Amino acid sequence: MNARPEVPFYDTASPNTRSRYTRTAMALHWLIALGIIVNVVLALSADSLPDGWVRPVINTHKSIGITVLGLAILRVLWRFTHRPPALPASFPKWERASAHIAHILLYGLIFALPLSGWLHDSAWKDALTHPMSLFGFIPWPRIGFIMDQPPALKEHLHTLFGSLHTWFGYVLYVLLALHVGGALKHEWIDRHSVIRRMLP
């Protein structure tokens, strides 16, 4: 039997002898980061693309988003069963605390963004005539409960979830700036790399 002690989510008080994340945690981190960045670029460029490109680009955005949701589930399962290396004890307490808060919020967003997008898309009035498929190959369902609502309510939900999706995007930009900014501060100003912990 594995005798690893039970540690609650985000417990940093317990000592951790690892100096790096596991390979699986690294792979999930960078795949999700890539998916999110590509998705933001696709979504923000959709309006300025030629008409014929918009639908394929949005379909790719949806497919990447659902993939990110699947990876996010794996990531959280992995996180619950594999404790990450503790942040260096030499970092001030406020910095460790804010890093943890940012990480928890980022975990929330990797679910909130795809879920709000999926809800928004399920309330789309043309959803029935435009079935969703992942990368054009795998048929993917919309959320039936939302699709079954009367048209007026669906229209309202479409707008509501669309605004929520946009606002989650704004929160993401702020958190990403703090997350990347923090990592670069440790790299260049403190000269105490944390990026290396997430690199093979």
Give me the least distance between CB of 184 and ligand HEM, in Å please: 21
Give me the least distance between CB of 47 and ligand HEM, in Å please: 6
* Helix, strand, or coil (residue 92): coil
In single-letter form, the type of residue at position 89 comes to: A
- Is the Cβ of residue 115 or residue 194 nearer to ligand HEM in the bound state? 115
Q: CA–CA separation, 154 vs 123, rounded Å? A: 5
**List of residues contacting ligand HEM (CB under 6 A):** 35-36, 39-40, 43-44, 46-47, 58, 61-62, 65-66, 68, 113-114, 117-118, 120-121, 165-166, 169
Give me the least distance between CB of 32 and ligand HEM, in Å please: 8
- Is the Cβ of residue 141 or residue 196 nearer to ligand HEM in the bound state? 141
- Is the Cβ of residue 25 or residue 36 nearer to ligand HEM in the bound state? 36
Q: How far is CA 34 from CA 11, 75, 135, 149, in A?
A: 27, 14, 16, 35
* Helix, strand, or coil (residue 18): coil
Question: How many CA atoms lie within 13 Å of 129's alpha carbon, on the beta-carbon side?
Answer: 2
